[in-house]
Structure 1
């Protein structure tokens, strides 16, 4: 996609000069297209990195992401409260 944008940065000014636009106007257009192409390329790379990090985070279990040991549940025993014991009936 970026190659097509770079190609258009060259093609558009050539066509503009061919249709009678001044060389300065075509040069300004080429510089504007190059700036937009560069910005889009940076944003595309940032988006691709973010998507790759998101995919990696989805594959990693929740407790590993937060640096906790595997306790069998995501919260461990740090919240307190009543917990059903081994012999306690649960209704």
Structure 2
């Protein structure tokens, strides 16, 4: 009869999930977009075009502002105005 062969136990690394980490409510990435923030972003785009995202909304990063415009506000505008592009 063959000997009982078991794999030696190896330590495994545990991955830390974002929700396991303590959250910092003052962090720009942890705060949601209020209607006022979205209005500021919309006004910024009206006045300055799709430039200077870092100056668009206080407390938000340039990347957050750009993504909010591209992924949320612009598609809503296109849908309501009937644009297909």
TM (normalized to structure 2)? 0.32
Higher helix share: 1
Please identify the structure whose Cα radius of gyration is greater.
1
